[in-house]
């Protein structure tokens, strides 16, 4: 039987072009994601993806069926929203957070949603910026905190908030913890970065700024900040993070002079169908919570 989860898996893989990233978007591990795709392909009687070295591409059948899958998911979302509307005491706001949002900041935004929308239940998902923008555009999310800049496809957006960052550096490279450093002097190791596909425009800005201040040293791609922190602890990379609580033995925390690599965030929400649970007047309140955390 074709299910909503089958369609979620199909669309996530098509959007992410990476099985691991798609699994995180759907909220499962990679083995059940692959199993779900195989079941879907068996149901439709066609192969939907070609999986090659380092890339995943839609087959002609997959490209033909993808628009129908998106429309079907939208219908499921409309059904869920209609079902929620039958219980006026428990409307729901679905909030998305990009992984670069520190835990305390995400919690503050979720709490601000609850405070501003007293009777609204808030559910939270974490996914890359590119996935969140697509989910808000399709109506699967009512609000998301994403990296800036990003192609917003006509979405409404709040002001840009800059979060200060720290460089987590192996103490073998810079022994004195807490010392302010010039980015250009950290040339001994690559800087850990997340995959470009997660937020192409924001990642390009980060890399361009990094190259301007630090012409040598390069970068290394990591799946998340935990992997970047582990590489820093192993003396193999430098991690730039807005999370004031991320730390490990053997890793020093340093502010970068003039903070050249802030994390830029903004709230986005649907332009043409702003949920009734999210009136425009609460956006400044949520933006303030984002900036004050």
CATH number for 128: 3.40.190.10
SS3 214: coil
- Give pairs for 60-68: CB < 8 Å, separation 24+: 62/10, 62/14, 65/10, 66/10, 66/11, 66/14
- What pLDDT is attached to residue 293? 55
pLDDT tops 90 at residue 282: no
Is beta strand 238-241 parallel, antiparallel or unpaired with respect to 219-221?
A: unpaired
pLDDT band at 162 (very low <50, low <70, confident <90, very high): very high
**Residue with the larger pLDDT of the pair 17 and 79:** 17
d(CA 205, CA 223): 19
Taking residues 90-112, report their average pLDDT: 87
- Which DSSP helix (H) or strand (E) runs through 265? strand 263-269
Under 8 Å between Cβ of 177 and 253: yes
CATH number at residue 41: 1.10.10.10
Looking at the structure, tell me whether residues 98 and 152 fall in a common domain: yes
The total number of structural domains that make up the chain = 3
- Per-residue pLDDT tens digits for 22-72: 887 777 888 888 999 999 999 899 999 998 777 788 999 999 998 888 888
Looking at the structure, tell me whether residues 150 and 276 fall in a common domain: yes
pLDDT tops 70 at residue 178: yes
Q: Where are the alpha helices (DSSP H) in the chain?
A: 4-16, 19-26, 30-44, 60-85, 103-116, 129-138, 200-213, 225-233, 283-292
- What pLDDT is attached to residue 275? 46
- What pLDDT is attached to residue 81? 61
| Measured torsion, CA atoms of residues 267, 82, 84, 271, in degrees rounded to the nearest 10 | 10
SS3 18: coil
Looking at the structure, tell me whether residues 93 and 224 fall in a common domain: no
pLDDT band at 129 (very low <50, low <70, confident <90, very high): very high
The top-scoring range by mean pLDDT among 44-48, 175-179, 270-274 is 44-48
pLDDT band at 276 (very low <50, low <70, confident <90, very high): very low
- What pLDDT is attached to residue 274? 43
Looking at the structure, tell me whether residues 112 and 239 fall in a common domain: no
- Per-residue pLDDT tens digits for 197-213: 889 999 999 999 999 99
- What pLDDT is attached to residue 175? 79
pLDDT tops 90 at residue 234: yes
Looking at the structure, tell me whether residues 177 and 148 fall in a common domain: no
Of 266, 150, 260, which is closest to residue 203 (Cα–Cα)? 150
Q: Which of 12-16, 85-89, 228-232, 280-284 has the lowest mean pLDDT?
A: 85-89
Looking at the structure, tell me whether residues 54 and 194 fall in a common domain: no
- What pLDDT is attached to residue 140? 83
d(CA 4, CA 10): 10
Q: What is the pTM of this model?
A: 0.70
Instruction: Enter the tokens of residue 23.
Output: 């699994």
Range of the structural domain that residue 178 is part of:
165-261
- What pLDDT is attached to residue 191? 96
pLDDT tops 70 at residue 87: no
Taking residues 72-87, report their average pLDDT: 67
Cβ neighbour number for residue 235 with a 10 Å cutoff:
15
Between CA 61 and CA 65, with CA 63 as vertex, the angle to 5 degrees is 70
Of 276, 72, 101, 260, which is closest to residue 194 (Cα–Cα)? 101
Taking residues 149-176, report their average pLDDT: 89
pLDDT band at 85 (very low <50, low <70, confident <90, very high): low
pLDDT tops 60 at residue 75: yes
Taking residues 243-271, report their average pLDDT: 91
Under 8 Å between Cβ of 256 and 183: yes
- What pLDDT is attached to residue 86? 55
Looking at the structure, tell me whether residues 127 and 11 fall in a common domain: no
Looking at the structure, tell me whether residues 19 and 73 fall in a common domain: yes
Looking at the structure, tell me whether residues 211 and 277 fall in a common domain: no
């Amino acid at each position: 039987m074709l299910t909503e989860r089958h369609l979620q898996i199909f669309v996530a893989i098509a959007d992410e072009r990476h099985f691991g990233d798609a699994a995180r978007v759907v909220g499962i591990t990679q083995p059940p994601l692959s199993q779900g795709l195989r079941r879907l392909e068996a149901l439709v009687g066609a192969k939907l993806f070609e999986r090659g070295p380092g890339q995943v591409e839609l087959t002609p059948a997959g490209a033909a069926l993808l628009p129908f899958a998106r429309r079907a998911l939208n219908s499921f979302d409309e059904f869920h929203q209609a079902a929620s509307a039958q219980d006026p005491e428990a409307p729901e706001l679905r909030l998305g957070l990009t992984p670069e949002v520190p835990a305390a900041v995400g919690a503050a935004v979720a709490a601000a949603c609850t405070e501003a929308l007293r009777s609204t239940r808030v559910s939270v998902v974490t996914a890359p910026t590119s996935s969140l923008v697509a989910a808000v555009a399709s109506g699967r999310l009512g609000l998301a905190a994403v990296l800036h800049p990003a192609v917003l496809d006509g979405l409404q957006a709040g002001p840009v908030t800059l979060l200060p960052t720290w460089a987590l550096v192996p103490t073998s490279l810079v022994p004195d913890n807490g010392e302010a450093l010039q980015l250009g002097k950290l040339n001994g190791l690559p800087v850990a970065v997340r995959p470009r596909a997660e937020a192409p425009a924001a990642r390009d800005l980060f890399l361009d700024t990094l190259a301007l201040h630090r012409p040598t040293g390069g970068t290394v791609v990591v799946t998340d900040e935990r992997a970047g922190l582990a590489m820093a602890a192993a003396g193999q990379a430098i991690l730039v993070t807005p999370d004031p609580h991320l730390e490990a033995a053997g890793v020093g925390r340093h502010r970068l002079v003039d903070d050249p690599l802030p994390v830029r965030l903004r709230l986005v929400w649907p332009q043409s169908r702003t949920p009734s649970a999210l009136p425009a007047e609460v956006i400044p309140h949520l933006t303030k919570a984002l900036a004050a955390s």
